[in-house]
Amino acid sequence: MLRIIAKNFIKPEQTAKAESLFRELIAASLEDSGCLEYRLHKDAAEPGLYVFIEEWADRESHAKHEASEHFKRLFPQIGALAAKPGEALFLHDEVKGKK
């Protein structure tokens, strides 16, 4: 089990371009082996803040995702639209709560 919370801080004037790239990344990543969740959220309170909530079957499937053509191609393009580096939290253990 691997759950990831990944924040992206996109320049407000670049959000439309970033969302186009995000959509392409999401569509491809949902087909990656071991991808259990790959959802992108934003909050009106902080323009440019995009938060991925992901779940991967294991570390290996996430590593393969990061080595995929779509990730290696799109992630740098999204990074070029960022106001500052992103932040990621990797959670390897679940206490309880699946519904």
The answer to whether residue 16 forms part of the interface with its own copies (CB under 8 A) is no
The answer to whether residue 94 forms part of the interface with its own copies (CB under 8 A) is yes
64-97 CB burial, b ≥16 within 10 A, e <16: ebeebebbeebbeebeebbeeebeeeeeeeeeee
Stretch in the footprint of its own copies (CB under 8 A) among 35-43, 60-68, 70-78, 79-87: 35-43
Distance separating the N- and C-terminal Cα atoms of the chain: 15
Residues 37-76 that bind its own copies (CB under 8 A): 37-45, 50-53
Return residues touching its own copies (CB under 8 A). Answer: 3, 5, 19, 22-23, 26-27, 30, 35-45, 50-53, 89-99
